[in-house]
């Protein structure tokens, strides 16, 4: 279907593609991955003809149609359904011709072709796609111009899917979606009948949808079979193998060179030495394994606060007293909470986050904060608040006026802003770099709670993995809104469902939520479930029971706070002991240690034995604390 041969492309003196070659067979679904800035979107522009290569060729099977999501969101007075139906140009042309055709043979051909492309099901197919992307029947009848840019980009995605091209190119299709629409899209693309090439940093989508990965690195394309996890494993094994082969080759070169140095001037060995010199010249060097530098994240740990750090009682939140977005909020947050907010866009997740961050004040009810509470708030729209003319260093220095320049640069360096990037104007930073700058600014004063609203939109896969690790190492509370299931599953242990004007704990995990969504769509039930529509439950008296249960759970969590702290302290102590043991064991592998004084060696061995004994005791204490915590519920 798609053949890329020895492709070369330069931009501004920089070589993005350098002899890149790859093939995507008809009917295959491939993921195009690589670090930000490597040229993935540029490759799409070359495939569609929007850009022209400096060398090489791109061939698409004859007659095959290519579909992409329009870069500009649709607008105008046409309804959503009409806008999506208009994307099937062949169907529209046939319908127009059917109105004027007079030749019976041609009329028959038109109707046969309309039947072949399932024209009679077009409206239901378009409606189902729009429904999956979050537009109910009422929304589908509204003009496109009534919606915001993000929602209109969903309409553009719906149009691309509905058109059913032979080759579909999708560039970060989940960026404008919420979790619910993302889960639907994964399921839809997993059944895509044509050929698909998708750029994505979403591991779950790449594991669920594609059957091969094309990796763009160093200007070259490399194909791997399977989803992203298999690609990562295979690539890691290949890099290890290449490293071992290189070490083996270097050892062989040293051996041959040693022979040459010893015997090249001896008459009896001169011929053998010359033979080995030629052998060295013919030996193709194995390239050194140079991994691209991985972006790091590291959030400072806050000082502990007594629980709860935040509590809400019968709170209403919104932007106008007469039309609250959320009502009856009875929530509690402790420092060890890791909570993901579920619910479709427009249900109030961002409103709740702003309320917790102090950007909104309650319309009614009681919201209590710990007196020393510091909150860090990350929202994608905050990139607009950055000073384009300023540098990351200048942004950071304004927040740390009393700190020395070296300290400011060290804090920036912890998020990948070294000397050159720290002094680059914000307007010249990539989307991922702006996101990292927001992270470092948000966490500068060691917040006790981080409120993260879609934090991964501009981060590549490796940066997302670094963020996961940093979030798990962080000692404060996290409230997360994300369309990335992988991020939610690895960092959050509780789920809250925001829907129907309320926020309630979701009884289950993300897999349960996915099954629930898919089940509702299969049944065609557009009504919200009991968790989403508890207004009626409040009216018939069930709300009081839920409040009592919630208070009971909160009381139990408060009583168990000491045990949870004991468990966390034991975990931290075990990590410290394990690091010290690893360092000592590394020292004991050094031959120089055994050549030194015996007393020093014995001291190291005794210290190692003592640390291992302490680790065993700490593990036992942790197990006992964990068992008591589990018994307490």
Give the model confidence (pLDDT) of 453-506 as tens digits. Answer: 988 887 888 888 888 888 888 999 999 999 888 899 889 989 999 988 999 999
Instruction: Give the tens place of pLDDT for each residue, 33-68.
Output: 988 778 888 898 899 888 888 899 999 887 788 989
pLDDT at residue number 302: 92
User: Can you name the residues that pair with 338 across neighbouring β-strands?
Assistant: 478
Of the candidate ranges 310-314, 325-329, 432-436, the one whose mean pLDDT is the lowest:
432-436
Tell whether the torsion through CA atoms of 418, 420, 421 and 425 is positive or negative.
positive
Q: Is 483 in contact with 452 (CB distance < 8 Å)?
A: no
Name the domain boundary from 190, 213, 231. 231
Q: Quick check: is 416 in a domain? A: no
The answer to whether residues 323 and 176 belong to one domain is no
Mean pLDDT of the chain: 81
* Overall domain count for the chain: 4
Residues 172 and 244 in one domain: no
The predicted structure's pLDDT at residue 249: 65
Residue 369 sits at φ, ψ, to 5 deg, of: -115, 150
Average confidence (pLDDT) over 158-169? 90
Rounded mean pLDDT of 444-457?
A: 90
In-domain check, residue 303: no
With beta carbons less than 8 A apart as the criterion, state whether 457 and 177 touch. no
Q: For position 30, what pLDDT does the model report? A: 93
Nearest to 204 by CA among 183, 218, 222: 183
Whether pLDDT at 553 is above 70 = no
The angle formed by the CA atoms of residues 437, 441 and 446, to the nearest 5 degrees, is 135
Residue 246 inside a domain? The answer is yes
**Would you state the structure tokens that stand for residue 568, as one six-digit string?**
């966390």
User: What pLDDT score does 460 carry?
Assistant: 81
166 and 239: one domain? no
pLDDT at 532: 40
Residues 273-298, mean pLDDT to the nearest whole number: 59
Q: 167 and 36, same structural domain?
A: yes
Residue 511 lies in a domain: yes
Q: Residue 428: inside a domain, yes or no?
A: no
Tell me which of 195-199, 244-248, 323-327 is least confident: 244-248
**Which are the contacts of 144, defined by CB distance < 8 A and separation ≥ 6?**
74, 75, 76, 77, 78, 79, 80, 83, 152, 155
Q: The domain that contains 62 carries what CATH number?
A: 3.40.50.300
pLDDT given for residue 537 in this prediction? 45
Q: Which residue has the tokens 């939520």?
A: 513
Closest CA relative to residue 50, chosen from 78, 22, 9: 9
Residue 218 corresponds to which tokens in the numbers above?
């160093």
pLDDT band at residue 168 under the 50/70/90 scheme = very high
Residue 224 lies in domain: 2-231
The pLDDT value recorded for residue 311 is: 93
- Please say whether the beta carbons of 249 and 283 come within 8 A: yes
Return the minimum-mean-pLDDT range out of 388-392, 508-512, 524-528.
524-528
- Are residues 127 and 254 located together in one domain of the fold? no
CA distance 413 to 424: 14
Percent of the chain exceeding pLDDT 90 equals 18
Instruction: Pull the structure tokens for residue 479.
Output: 């409230």
Looking at residue 341, its pLDDT comes to 93
- Phi first, then psi, for residue 376 (nearest 5°) are -105, 130
- The domain boundary, picked from 524, 558, 592, lies at 558
Distances (CA, A) of 162 to 105, 271, 367, 454: 29, 73, 46, 27
pLDDT of 354-380, one tens digit each? 999 988 899 999 999 988 999 999 886
Work out the angle at residue 116's Cα, subtended by the Cα atoms of residues 114 and 119, and round it to the nearest 5 degrees.
40
**What pLDDT is stored for residue 631 in this prediction?**
67
- Is the CB of residue 165 less than 8 Å from the CB of residue 69? no
* Residue 285 clears pLDDT 70, i.e. is over it: no
Determine whether 342 is exposed, middle or buried from the number of CB atoms within 10 Å of its CB (0-12, 13-18, 19+): buried
Q: Say whether both 274 and 336 belong to one domain.
A: no
Residues 189 and 274 in one domain: no
Beta bridge partners of 79: 143
């Amino acid at each position: 279907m798609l053949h890329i041969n020895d492709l070369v492309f330069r931009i501004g003196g920089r070589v993005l593609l350098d002899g890149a070659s790859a093939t995507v067979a008809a009917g295959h679904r491939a993921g195009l991955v690589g670090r930000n800035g490597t040229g993935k979107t540029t490759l799409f522009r070359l495939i569609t003809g929007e850009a022209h290569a400096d060398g090489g060729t791109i061939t698409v099977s004859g007659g095959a149609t290519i579909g992409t999501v329009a870069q500009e969101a649709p607008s105008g007075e046409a309804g959503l359904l009409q806008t999506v139906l208009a994307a099937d140009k062949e169907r529209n042309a046939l319908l127009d011709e059917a109105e004027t055709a007079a030749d019976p043979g041609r009329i028959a051909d038109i109707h046969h072709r309309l039947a072949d492309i399932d024209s009679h099901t077009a409206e239901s197919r378009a409606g189902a796609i729009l429904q999956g992307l979050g537009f109910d029947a009422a929304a589908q009848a509204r003009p496109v111009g009534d919606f915001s840019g993000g929602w209109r980009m969903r309409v553009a995605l719906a149009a691309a899917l509905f058109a059913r091209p032979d080759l579909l190119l999708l560039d970060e299709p989940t960026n404008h979606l919420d979790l619910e629409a993302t889960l639907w899209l994964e399921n839809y693309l997993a059944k895509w009948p044509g050929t698909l090439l998708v750029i994505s940093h979403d591991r779950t989508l790449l594991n669920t949808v594609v059957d091969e990965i094309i990796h763009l690195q160093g200007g070259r394309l490399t194909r791997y079979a399977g989803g992203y996890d298999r690609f990562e494993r295979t690539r890691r094994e290949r890099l290890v193998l290449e490293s071992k082969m290189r070490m083996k080759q270097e050892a062989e070169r040293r051996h041959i060179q040693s022979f040459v140095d010893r015997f090249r001037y001896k008459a009896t060995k001169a011929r053998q030495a010359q033979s080995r010199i030629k052998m060295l010249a013919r030996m193709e060097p194995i390239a050194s394994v140079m991994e691209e530098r991985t972006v790091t994240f590291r959030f400072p740990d806050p000082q502990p606060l007594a629980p709860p750090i935040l509590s809400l009682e019968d709170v209403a939140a919104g932007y106008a007293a007469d039309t609250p977005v959320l009502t009856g909020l009875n929530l509690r947050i402790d420092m060890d909470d890791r909570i993901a907010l579920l619910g479709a866009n427009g249900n109030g997740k961002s409103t709740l986050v702003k309320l917790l961050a102090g950007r909104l004040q309650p319309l009614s009810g009681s919201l209590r904060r710990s007196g020393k509470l510091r909150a860090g708030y990350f929202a994608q729209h905050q990139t607009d608040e950055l000073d384009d003319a300023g540098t990351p260093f200048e942004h950071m220095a304004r927040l740390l006026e009393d700190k020395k320049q070296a300290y400011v640069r060290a804090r920036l360096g912890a998020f990948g802003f070294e000397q050159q990037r720290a002094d680059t104007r914000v307007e010249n930073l990539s989307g991922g770099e702006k996101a990292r700058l927001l992270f470092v600014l948000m966490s500068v004063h060691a917040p006790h709670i981080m409120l993260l609203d879609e934090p991964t939109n501009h981060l590549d896969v490796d940066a997302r993995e670094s963020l996961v690790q940093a979030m798990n190492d962080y000692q404060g509370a996290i409230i997360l809104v994300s369309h990335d299931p992988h991020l939610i599953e690895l960092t959050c242990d509780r789920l809250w469902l925001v829907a129907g004007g309320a926020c309630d704990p979701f009884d289950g995990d993300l897999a349960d939520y996915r099954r629930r969504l898919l089940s509702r769509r299969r049944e065609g039930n557009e009504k919200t479930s009991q968790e989403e529509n508890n207004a009626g439950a409040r009216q018939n008296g069930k709300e009081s029971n839920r409040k009592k249960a919630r208070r009971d759970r909160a009381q139990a969590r408060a009583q168990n706070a000491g045990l949870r702290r004991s468990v966390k302290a034991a975990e931290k102590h075990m990590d410290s002991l394990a690091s010290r043991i690893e360092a000592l064991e590394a020292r004991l592998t050094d031959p120089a240690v055994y050549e030194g004084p015996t007393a020093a060696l014995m001291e190291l061995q005794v210290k190692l034995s003592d640390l291992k004994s302490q680790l065993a005791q700490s593990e036992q204490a942790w197990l006992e604390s964990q068992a008591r915590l589990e018994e307490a519920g």
